[in-house]
Every structure is written in C-alpha cells, then in structure tokens.
Chain A
C-alpha cells in the first residue's frame, strides 16, 4: 500500500512538474494552455492522495474543465502569437535566477522547520475526511461569511469581465442622436478605437 502510494505520487509529481515547465517554456500560448491542463489533472491526482476527494473533483470540473475552456477560447480568439523570446531582456536571465534562489530558500524553510509532523504521514483521518458532507457542513457553519463573500466576488468578476470585454464600437451603430443623449459621442479622439462615423456626420 505504501509502495503503491509512492508510485502514484511520483508519477503525478512528474506530470505536474512537466506540465508546469511546459507552461513556461512552450512558445505557442495554445500549447501552454494544454500543458496547464495536464498539470491540473496531475494535481487533482495529488489531491486524491491527500484525501481531498471533493477538491480533486472540483479541480477537474471547474479548473481543467471550465476555466481552461475559457483560456482555449481566448487563445483561439487572439490567435497564436508566437512570442519572440527577446534575448536582450535582463528579466529573462534574472527571472530563473530569482526563482532558483527562492526555491532553495523555500526548501530550507520547509525541511528545517520545527514542525515534527512534516516527516510523517499526517494525522489519522477518518473515512469522511474531505468528502462533500464535511465540506458542506464547514462551509455553511464555520465558514459561512467567506462562502458568501466568495459568491459576491464571483458575481463582481463576471460583471467586470463583461464590462471590460464589451464591444465598444458596437454602440456607434446607434444613431447619433441617441449617442448624444448618452454622452458617448464626446469621446476624446486619440488612442481609442477609430470611430465608424465621420466627424461631419454627427453634426
């Protein structure tokens, strides 16, 4: 049992690390998205090993399912802009260096910690640990306010995304009279998207 768990852990860890490296190293953003999907599936397996069944399921459904579909849509909409890895940028060498330093520091902190249980399996847990029943009870009793705040956050994010990504030029198909009422024709010229209506046509 112990050996089986170790094998599962190492397979999932290799896939998770490979997916993470693929996200960062692949040039085409579309392939980066696919690498992240692999990474998320491997992480869901790790969550299962840690007795977080509900989180593993929601990781697959919400993350690898819904959020990644959004990413794929945007990657397809914007188009696969192959990014030139500008060798001139100082950040290109500074970034991995900084990350490596942080990794060494984190590992030192994790392995040199005073937590004695970190080198053990963890506490004994019952069969109901991490299942939906326990989740629901915690969310609706102990963490009710964070739960409600999270729902408002999702609502605000959805409205904000609609406002950000709306088609700004769409309003200019309305007649100029209506636009003047709305005060939209007083947009400053310049960096904004070019107006479809010539300036003379509005007066």
Chain B
C-alpha cells in the first residue's frame, strides 16, 4: 500500500475528530474526539516513519501517546470534579475557572 493512502486516511480521521470537538457539547465526547485527533497524528507520524525507513517517527508517536494519556487523566478529573460540584455535564457550563 502506498504511503499516501495512510496519509489520506489520517486526514479523514482528523477531520471527523475535529467536527466532533467543535459540535459536541458533552465534555466526555469532546475528550474522545481529541483522542481521534491525536490518533490521526500518530498514524501520519508512523506512515512517514515507514516512508523514510527511520524509526524516529515511531518514538514521536509513543510520546504523543504519553501526552494523550496525561490529557485524558486530567480531563476526566475535571469531569469528575464537575459532577461532584453539581455543574451540568456540558462544556458550555464551564465558562469560568472557579475553585
């Protein structure tokens, strides 16, 4: 398979995730869509790494996975804090930072 197929697939996944981030209002689904964005980036990185025959891109992809895990943990902590403070689970309600 040509590398360009993987790049186009990665672009499609990225755009689906972008539409989700913009149009969904549940923060859990927004986080899931962010995962889609990061995974599309990972796929492109690995495809280019394969194209060059150089494994550095795979290391980048691993670091992206680490960053994604951190983002998930903090984001889910925020959602749990919203639930505990009885804020409705909606991104529009989180318009201000207030301890």
Contacts and interface: CB of A to CB of B under 8 A. Distances in A.
A18 B70 CA distance: 26
Interface string B46-78: 110111111110110111011111111110111
B26 A17 contact: no
A121 B26 contact: no
A107 interface: yes
B28 A55 contact: no
B2 A71 contact: no
A64 to B, nearest CB: 11
A139 B24 CA distance: 37
A29 B28 contact: yes
Q: How large is the interface on A (under 10, 10 to 19, 20 to 34, 35 or more residues)?
A: 35 or more
A24 B66 contact: no
A36 interface: yes
Contact of A23 (B36, B78, B83): B36
Interface in B7-27: 7-9, 11-26
Contacts of B89: 78, 81
A125 B83 CA distance: 50
Nearest to B57: A52
B43 to A, nearest CB: 6
Contacts of B1: 5-6, 9, 49, 121
A161 B74 contact: yes
B94 interface: no
Interface in A103-151: 103, 106-107, 110-111, 115, 117-125, 129-130, 134-135, 138-139, 142-143, 146, 150
29 contacts: A16-B9, A17-B9, A17-B12, A17-B16, A23-B29, A32-B28, A39-B36, A50-B50, A52-B49, A71-B76, A78-B79, A92-B23, A94-B22, A95-B19, A95-B20, A95-B22, A95-B23, A107-B11, A118-B2, A118-B7, A123-B50, A123-B53, A138-B59, A146-B59, A150-B67, A156-B70, A157-B69, A161-B74, A164-B74
